[in-house]
Amino acid sequence: MSRAQILLIEDDERLSTVLKKGLEEKGYAVTQAFDGEMGLRLYEKGGFELVITDLILPKVNGLDVSKSIRQKDTHIPIIMLTALGATDDKVEGFDAGADDYLVKPFDFRELHARIKTLLKRSGRVAAKDEKSTYVYADLEIDSQLKMASRAGISLNLTPKEYSLLEYMVKNPERVLSREEIAREVWGVNFDTGTNFIDVYINYIRKKVDKPFEDKLIHTRPGMGFLLQKT
């Protein structure tokens, strides 16, 4: 499946880097621009399915960026980011052609949810996690039915065990840190004083690996966990 191409226009390089990394992990292809003029130049090259732009930008502000893009394409989804939260600011953003509006700071999961909604609404390309079935080795996940099986045998998982296993199956053969798992599966900031990630890894190991000869869930000491064939 093709990866949705996103143009990210954000002059805060740290935030831009964090958003790019998070969106790429979700299956999108992200092109960065650090001012409005650069963003418009990149947009002219074409190929984007969605635009995320900050409101306050060097050279050309986000309102003018949005207006320029909207003059050329009346359908491409535009999400506007801003530190301003007043109603008038939001109205001005919508009037400029933005489809959605997020006030900083925001939860990445909220941004991701809005991206998926806008891509579906526009009929543009969806990200890789729009699939309903994921298979790794003899392990299968059905994200529509929220069910998992191995070698055709159904796995009796609790909701959180399922969510953890689903995330690992969607990210196979990559070391997942405790911080990432806590953030993506539990939606919380990681507390180094707890070991709840390790506890849940052990829970799903008992169900996914213990009954089978080939082990799939592995630990990388000091780094995290990964799903990998032995």
Give residue-wise pLDDT tens across range 145-173.
Answer: 889 999 999 999 988 899 899 999 999 99
Give the model's pLDDT for residue 33. 95
pLDDT grade for 8, boundaries at 50, 70 and 90 = very high
With cut-offs at 50, 70 and 90, classify the pLDDT of residue 51: very high
- Once rounded to an integer, what is the mean pLDDT over residues 19-33? 92
Predicted local distance difference test score (pLDDT) of residue 176: 94
C-beta separation of 80 from 98 below 8 A: yes
Superfamily (CATH H level) for 5-128: Response regulator (3.40.50.2300)
* Higher-scoring residue by pLDDT: 194, 225: 225
pLDDT at site 130 = 55
Q: Say how far residue 42 (Cα) sits from the centre of its chain.
A: 22
pLDDT in tens, 104-142: 888 899 899 889 888 887 765 555 445 678 899 999 998
Task: Say yes or no to pLDDT of 2 above 60.
Answer: no
- What average pLDDT does range 171-195 have in this prediction? 77
Where are the domains positioned within the chain? 5-128, 132-227
5-128 against 132-227: fold identical: no
Confidence check: pLDDT of 79 > 60: yes
- CA angle 230/129/131 to nearest 5° reads 90
**Correct CATH for 132-227 of 3.20.10.10, 1.10.10.10, 2.170.130.30, 3.40.5.10:** 1.10.10.10
Task: Write b or e for each residue in 138-168: b if 16 or more Cβ atoms lie within 10 A of its Cβ, otherwise e.
Answer: ebbbebeeeebebeeeebebeeebbbbbbbb
Strand segments, DSSP code E, in the chain are 5-9, 29-33, 50-54, 78-82, 100-103, 133-136, 139-142, 147-150, 153-154, 217-220, 224-227
Answer yes or no: is pLDDT of 1 > 70. no
**Token couple for 190:** 């990681």
Per-residue confidence band for 187, with pLDDT thresholds at 50, 70 and 90: low
Q: How far apart are CA 129 and CA 115, in angstroms?
A: 12
* Mean pLDDT of the 176-193 span: 73
